[in-house]
Amino acid sequence: KAGVTQTPRYLIKTRGQQVTLSCSPISGHRSVSWYQQTPGQGLQFLFEYFSETQRNKGNFPGRFSGRQFSNSRSEMNVSTLELGDSALYLCASSLGRGASTDTQYFGPGTRLTVL
Amino acid sequence: GQQLNQSPQSMFIQEGEDVSMNCTSSSIFNTWLWYKQEPGEGPVLLIALYKAGELTSNGRLTAQFGITRKDSFLNISASIPSDVGIYFCAGHFVGANAGKSTFGDGTTLTVKP
C-alpha cells in the first residue's frame, strides 16, 4: 500500500509570501497531523485533522492553518512568511480511531526555505 | 505541556558495538514509539509499544515500555553503518489526543566502520 505523500518536496519563498503544502495520507487513514521540524526546536506538533475537522492544535500562531478534504487529503497554509518559518514540514497519517495502537506514519516532508 | 527527555543527544560508536538510548517523560503515555530519520526524509517507525512492561524486538532492535509508563528505552545490537541516523522517541495518548504525538529531541547515531 502506498505511503504518505507530500508535495512539493522543496519550496523557496520570500518573507511576506504565503505557502500551501499538501499531504495525501495512507489509504484508509482518516487522521492527518502536521509537524514542524527545525534544528533548534525539534519536532513540534502543529495540528491534527480528522473527518475534515481540526481535532487537536499545537501552540503556533494563527498564520498557520490547515484543512482536510472529504478524501482525507490535507493542506496546510502559512501566511505572511517569516524567516523563522524555514523548516521541514512533516505530515503523518493514522487511522484516527484514538486507540493506543493508532500509530502515525510520516511522509518525506516538505523543505520550506524562507529568504 | 508534556516534555520528553531523550538521551544521549549523540553517540559515536564502532561498527559491531551495541547501542542504548532512552526517553523519560513527566507524564504517563499510553503508547511509546521509536522512529528513525535519515537526512532529507521523514521519520520511519521502528517499534511501537502499547502496554506497560512490554518488550518488543524488530531484528537487531529491542525496545521496552517502562513499568511506570513514563519511560522507554531502545537498544540496537551489533550496529552496522546503515544504522546511522537520528532516532526519536515519541509518546501519545488514547482517545481524541491520539493524533498528537510528543517527540524527544532525538539521538544522533554515528557508526564508524
Question: Above 70 in pLDDT, residue B69?
Answer: yes
Q: Can you give the pLDDT at residue B93? A: 78
Question: Above 70 in pLDDT, residue B96?
Answer: no
Establish if A50 touches chain B: CB-CB under 8 angstroms: yes
Q: Can you give the pLDDT at residue A97? A: 79
Q: Can you give the pLDDT at residue A1? A: 62
Interface test with B, best of A32, A43, A89, A101 (most B CBs within 10 A): A43
Q: Can you give the pLDDT at residue A42? A: 84
For A103, the closest of B33, B40, B104 (CB atoms) is B33
Q: Can you give the pLDDT at residue A39? A: 83
**Segment B7-58, tens digit of pLDDT:** 999 999 999 999 999 999 988 888 999 999 998 889 999 999 999 999 999 9
Q: For strand B107-112 and strand B85-92, is the pairing parallel, antiparallel, or unpaired?
A: antiparallel
What are the phi and psi torsion angles at A26 (to 5°)?
A: -65, 140
Collapsing DSSP to helix, strand or coil, A64 comes out as strand
Question: Above 70 in pLDDT, residue B78?
Answer: yes
- State how far the Cα of A90 lies from the Cα of A110, in Å rounded to an integer: 7
For A100, the closest of B30, B40, B42 (CB atoms) is B30
Residue spans of chain A under pLDDT 70? 1, 100
Mean pLDDT for all residues in chain B: 92
Q: Can you give the pLDDT at residue A101? A: 73
% of residues, chain B, pLDDT over 70? 95
Mean pLDDT for all residues in chain A: 93
* Mean of pLDDT values over B77-95: 91
Q: Can you give the pLDDT at residue A13? A: 97
Q: Can you give the pLDDT at residue A44? A: 93
Q: Hunting for cell 503515555 — which residue is that?
A: B29
